[in-house]
Structure 1
Amino acid sequence: MLKLCVGAERVEDLAHRQATHWHGEPRHVTRMWPKREAELLNGGSIYWIFKGLVLARQRILGLEATRGDDGIERCALILDPMIVRTQAQPRRAFQGWRYLDAKDAPADIPEGRDHEEPLPPDLARALAEMGLR
């Protein structure tokens, strides 16, 4: 699943928001219940887009019905607290979320390199568009 990470410019911003807001069990609440629920719960992830680049993912551990203050029922994606950095992959902006086929998903950054300082977004985007990650 692809989702814009609204209000966060960096992966660290997402991690901080989840740590301070959800206290251990991060979730993302969405209006629609995914039709491809079985696929998402069988090792699926939410891939986060920051400023036009997919840069991270989190495994989806479960789905839970939740009701907002407005009385409308929504779907909460229960997420693994571990955020995995991925190779930069450019993506255009869109509303809501989109399904992402496994064959099109960006690769995880190899263990040991995931704590390196990320490239500036413009450079990462240019390299990804050239196929150089």
Structure 2
Amino acid sequence: MPLHLIKLSVGTDSIADLQGWIDDKIKAQKKRGVKKPERIHTTRMVPKRANELKDGGSIYWVIKGQIMCRELILDVRPFTDKDGIHRCKLVLDPKCIPVEPRPRAAFQGWRYLEDKETPRDLSKMGKGALDMPEELRRELMQLGLL
């Protein structure tokens, strides 16, 4: 079973906002002449369970207090920065996959998330869930109607 990460998406207000930021970063890499642009998220800590993350894991993003989407983890690349500090580059699929909104309190850094704890993809929730505006989905989830 894959292992996942969960992390706060600081400064984003919606899935569309996060996806726009990702798209802008990829475009900037292409503009700089990068032949194979990658979606990289750098963390301060190197996951000790990296092999489990690379075995079908995702990073689940908390946006405005709710788990809202995920990105597949393609690779985990530890490195040492110019100050000699060990860090990690998470290589992610640049496509945000909306998930069933689920409340999540704030925390620092990232946490592991077991497969059995993950919210379902919206595409598996039933007809129309993906077509609904994000704010409406949030409200319906809070009311227990979705």
**Is the shorter-chain TM-score for this pair beyond 0.5, marking a shared fold?**
yes
Which string of whole-angstrom CA distances, capped at 9 and with x for unpartnered residues, describes residues 44-83 of structure 1?
Answer: 0000000110000000000123454645331010000111
For 2:13 and 2:70, the matched residues in 1 are separated by 15
Q: Displacement, 1:39?
A: 1.2
- Give the AA of the match of 1:109: L
CA 2–79 in structure 1, closer or farther in 2 if over 3 Å, else same: same
| Residue 63 (structure 1) aligned to one of 55, 58, 76 | 76
Q: 1:38-117 residue pairs with structure 2 within 5 A?
A: 38-68=51-81, 70-110=83-123, 113-117=129-133
* Ranges in structure 2 where 5+ consecutive residues have no aligned partner: 28-36
Aligned residue-pair number:
130
Give aligned-pair identity as a percent: 40
Give the ranges of 4+ consecutive aligned residues of structure 1 lying more than 6 Å apart after TM superposition. none
Q: Which moved more, 1:54-63 or 1:114-123?
A: 114-123
Partner of 2:16: 12
CA 122–114 in structure 1, closer or farther in 2 if over 3 Å, else same: closer
Q: Which secondary structure state, in structure 2, belongs to the residue aligned with residue 99 of structure 1?
A: strand
The answer to whether the 8 Å contact 1:84/1:108 transfers is: yes
**RMSD after superposition:** 2.2
Asked if residue 126 in structure 1 is aligned to residue 130 in structure 2, the reply is no
* Ranges in structure 1 where 5+ consecutive residues have no aligned partner: none
The structure with the largest alpha-carbon Rg is 2
